[in-house]
C-alpha cells in the first residue's frame, strides 16, 4: 500500500511512521523475554564506587527523554552528578532530612512497614555511587525572554520518564534505587536550579557491590495486579 511521506493536519506536518511488527510467535517470545529480563531488576542499596563512563549516563538519559509527555512539553531536567563535593553536600542534606523523617515525621506504622526493606536515615550510597541522577520536573516553562508558559500532566510525564530511566539503567547492567528524601527542596539549592524546577526523584546509579543483598520480597502475581474485561 502506498503511503505518503507527509500529510498536513490543521496545517501541521505529520510524517509517515512505521513501527516494528513481528509474527505472532516472535511477538509472544519477545514479550516473554522482555518480562523475564525486566523481572530481574531489583532496587539495590549496596553500591560499588567503580566509575561509570559519562557516555553511558548520557545514553541512559537520552533513553529516558524519549518518554511521551503532555503536549510534548518534555517537562524534565536530569541532573547527573559525579562531582564528589556535590555528592557529599547532597548526602549530608538528605541525611539531615531523613533523620528528621525517621525520628519525628514518619508514623510508627510506616517505619514498621519499611523494616522489611532495611532502610534507615543513613544513605552511604549517595557518596559511594559514581553518579547521582536528580530528576527535576518543570512545573512551568521559562522562555528565554522570561515569559512563563504552561506544562501539562507534569507528574504523569516525569513519572513515565523515570520508569524508562530505571529500565535503561537496568539494561546497561547497572543498578539504582529510587530515593525520595523528603522534603527535597534542598536539591534546588545545591544544584542551583531555576525557579520553574522542582526535585522529583533522586537515583544513585552505578555497579552493585560484589556482595550485595536485597530484601527477600516477592512481586504480586498477574492475578493480583490485573483485571481483564474480554
Q: Residues interacting with ligand IYR, by CB under 6 A?
A: 98, 101, 114, 117, 119, 179-182
Residue (181 or 206) nearer to ligand IYR, CB = 181
Q: What is the nearest approach in angstroms of ligand IYR to the Cβ of residue 213?
A: 16
Q: What is the nearest approach in angstroms of ligand IYR to the Cβ of residue 19?
A: 35
Q: What is the nearest approach in angstroms of ligand IYR to the Cβ of residue 215?
A: 11
Residue (91 or 179) nearer to ligand IYR, CB = 179
Residue (48 or 182) nearer to ligand IYR, CB = 182
Q: What is the nearest approach in angstroms of ligand IYR to the Cβ of residue 181?
A: 6
Residue (101 or 196) nearer to ligand IYR, CB = 101
Q: How many whole angstroms separate alpha carbon 142 and alpha carbon 202?
A: 23
Q: How many whole angstroms separate alpha carbon 141 and alpha carbon 138?
A: 6
Q: How many whole angstroms separate alpha carbon 61 and alpha carbon 176?
A: 14
Query: Contact at 8 Å (CB) between 77 and 197?
Result: yes
3-state secondary structure of 118: coil
Q: How many whole angstroms separate alpha carbon 230 and alpha carbon 227?
A: 10
For ligand IYR, the nearest residue by Cβ is: 119
Q: What is the nearest approach in angstroms of ligand IYR to the Cβ of residue 43?
A: 9
| 181 CB neighbour count, 10 Å cutoff | 21
Q: How many whole angstroms separate alpha carbon 205 and alpha carbon 57?
A: 9
Q: What is the nearest approach in angstroms of ligand IYR to the Cβ of residue 114?
A: 5
Residue (71 or 117) nearer to ligand IYR, CB = 117
Q: What is the nearest approach in angstroms of ligand IYR to the Cβ of residue 179?
A: 5
Among the listed residues 213, 188, 211, 45, the one whose alpha carbon sits nearest the alpha carbon of residue 128: 45
Residue (31 or 178) nearer to ligand IYR, CB = 178
Q: How many whole angstroms separate alpha carbon 100 and alpha carbon 92?
A: 13
Residue (59 or 182) nearer to ligand IYR, CB = 182
Burial 191-226 (b: 16+ CB within 10 A, else e): bebeebbbbbbbbbbbbbbeeeeeeeeeeeeeeeee
How many residues are listed for the chain in this entry?
A: 230
Amino acid at each position: 500500500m502506498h503511503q505518503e511521506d507527509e500529510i498536513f493536519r490543521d496545517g501541521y506536518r505529520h510524517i509517515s511512521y512505521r513501527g516494528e511488527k513481528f509474527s505472532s510467535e516472535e511477538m509472544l517470545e519477545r514479550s516473554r523475554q522482555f518480562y523475564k529480563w525486566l523481572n530481574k531488576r531489583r532496587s539495590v542499596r549496596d553500591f560499588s564506587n567503580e566509575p561509570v563512563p559519562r557516555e553511558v549516563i548520557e545514553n541512559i538519559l537520552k533513553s529516558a527523554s524519549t518518554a511521551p509527555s503532555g503536549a510534548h512539553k518534555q517537562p524534565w531536567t536530569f541532573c547527573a552528578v559525579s562531582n564528589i563535593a556535590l555528592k557529599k553536600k547532597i548526602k549530608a542534606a538528605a541525611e539531615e532530612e531523613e533523620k528528621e523523617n525517621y525520628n519525628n515525621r514518619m508514623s510508627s506504622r510506616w517505619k514498621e512497614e519499611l523494616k522489611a526493606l532495611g532502610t534507615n536515615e543513613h544513605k552511604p550510597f549517595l557518596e559511594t555511587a559514581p553518579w547521582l541522577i536528580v530528576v527535576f520536573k518543570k512545573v512551568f516553562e521559562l522562555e528565554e525572554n522570561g515569559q512563563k508558559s504552561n506544562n501539562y500532566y507534569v507528574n504523569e510525564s516525569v513519572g513515565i520518564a523515570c520508569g524508562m530511566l530505571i529500565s535503561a539503567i537496568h539494561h546497561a547492567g547497572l543498578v539504582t534505587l529510587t530515593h525520595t528524601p523528603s522534603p527535597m527542596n534542598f536539591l534546588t539549592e545545591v544544584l542551583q536550579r531555576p525557579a520553574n524546577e522542582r526535585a522529583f526523584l533522586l537515583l544513585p546509579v552505578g555497579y552493585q557491590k560484589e556482595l550485595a543483598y536485597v530484601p527477600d520480597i516477592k512481586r504480586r502475581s498477574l492475578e493480583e495486579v490485573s483485571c481483564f474485561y474480554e
